[in-house]
């Protein structure tokens, strides 16, 4: 079975933003419903702040989207972003080279 991957990493906030727009819920209304500051919600929905376990659970409570799926999306996003970091890739290569000699 092949796994299809989007050409660019997609932050879970992008998906959530599309979902609330589809449902006709404003960000202000959702922030109130989730009892969180509007700015914090907006940063997540625009991909400038990561989902945490607690915010994922708040989204689950407010929208019915399972928190474990949202956290999985955040983890996938984090991994893809890290794999694109050339400095970190060079560091990994160096560590793997040393480990191969052990």
Domains of the chain: 12-100 (1.10.260.40)
Q: What is the pLDDT of residue 79?
A: 94
CA gap 43, 16 in Å, rounded? 12
Mean pLDDT to the nearest integer, 5-25: 93
- The three-point CA angle 65-70-75 to 5° equals 170
Mean pLDDT to the nearest integer, 94-102: 90
29-45 tens-digit pLDDT: 999 999 999 999 999 99
Return the DSSP state at 64: -
Mean pLDDT to the nearest integer, 59-79: 97
CA gap 57, 80 in Å, rounded? 23
Contact 30, 41 (CB under 8 A): yes
pTM across the whole model: 0.84
């Amino acid at each position: 079975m092949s796994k299809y991957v989007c050409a660019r990493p997609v932050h879970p906030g992008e998906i959530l933003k599309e979902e609330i727009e589809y449902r006709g819920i404003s960000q202000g209304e959702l922030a109130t419903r989730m009892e969180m500051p509007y700015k914090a919600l907006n940063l997540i929905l625009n991909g400038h702040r990561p989902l945490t376990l607690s915010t994922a659970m708040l989204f689950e409570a407010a929208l019915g989207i399972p928190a474990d799926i949202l956290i999985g999306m955040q983890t996938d996003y984090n991994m893809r972003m890290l794999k694109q970091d050339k400095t970190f890739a060079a560091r990994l290569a160096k560590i793997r080279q040393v480990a191969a000699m052990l």
